[in-house]
Amino acid sequence: MLVTSKELFKQAQEKNCAIPAPNFIDVESMKCHVETAEKLDVPVIIALAESHIELISLEEAALNGKYLAEQASIPVVLHLDHGMTPSIIKKAIDLGFSSVMIDASQDDFETNVKKTKEIIAYAHPKGVVVEAEIGHVGSGVNYENHAQTDSKYTTVEDAKNFIKATGVDSLAISIGTAHGMYKGVPEINFERLKEIAEAVDTPLVLHGGSSSGDANLKRCGLEGIAKINIFSDLVNAAMKNIQQQNPDNYLDVKQAANIGMKDCLTHYFDVFETQKLKTNF
């Protein structure tokens, strides 16, 4: 069933677990994520980043995502990830995405608030929830504990003031992760997570989950993070399984990739201790 993340996050907070938000880049990966969640009987947030709409259009994603969600026996959120362009975010809302992210985290505080409020004003009357980011989760490849990233930690005051100013449904915070892969395991600022989680009631989400370390991510779910985004690990697992299986035809390549992604996502459902949640809402 197609749902918003609002009630799911509330339950995840109560149960001290996190829900994976695996990114998809085509219908095949979208199906893999939903099928994996359905096999485990747990909810999932399937996410399309704005940067990937050249691989699958918003129209294709909405049509197929809604169909898969409506056919599934578990709650499925269809989410636009890292929306940078207001017109694209609004188009996703109109097409039937149940959740969107407005990422204005690289703007100054006031501009971030203004852009977020604009999207909320458009989304909420249509029953769509909105995620935003305060602080900044950097991106790149092969960081060693983020010494070279442009990540900026979220402060407690900024989180409180941003939520008060916008009424956003969920908030992505920066506590030490980055998008992409690492040479080592990142150092997560769990003290900052604790401070923010105690200061706000709004569900918190974490970007840059791939290769952040199972122990780190498990602890994040236990200590206040309701959603963790995963992408790089999924595509790397797909490629690794292709190389291990060494298939000699296209159909076997696809099957090997799908198995690799499903196994990786299954692993993260376990790490995040994702639980079956109520669906009577």
Of 17, 52, 29, nearest to 225 (Cα)? Answer: 17
Token pair, residue 196, equals: 């923010």
Q: List all residues 6 or more positions away from 58 whose beta carbon is below 8 Å from its beta carbon.
A: 48, 80, 88, 91, 92, 95
What is the strand order of the sheet 129-134 is part of?
19-22, 225-230, 204-206, 170-173, 129-134, 99-102, 76-83, 44-49
Token pair, residue 45, equals: 């947030």
Would residue 81 show up in a list of annotated catalytic residues for this protein? yes
Which residue blocks in 83-150 are alpha helix, DSSP H? 86-95, 109-123
Catalytic, out of 26, 81, 150, 270: 81
Beta strand 44-49 with 76-83 is parallel
Could you give the residue numbers annotated as active site?
81
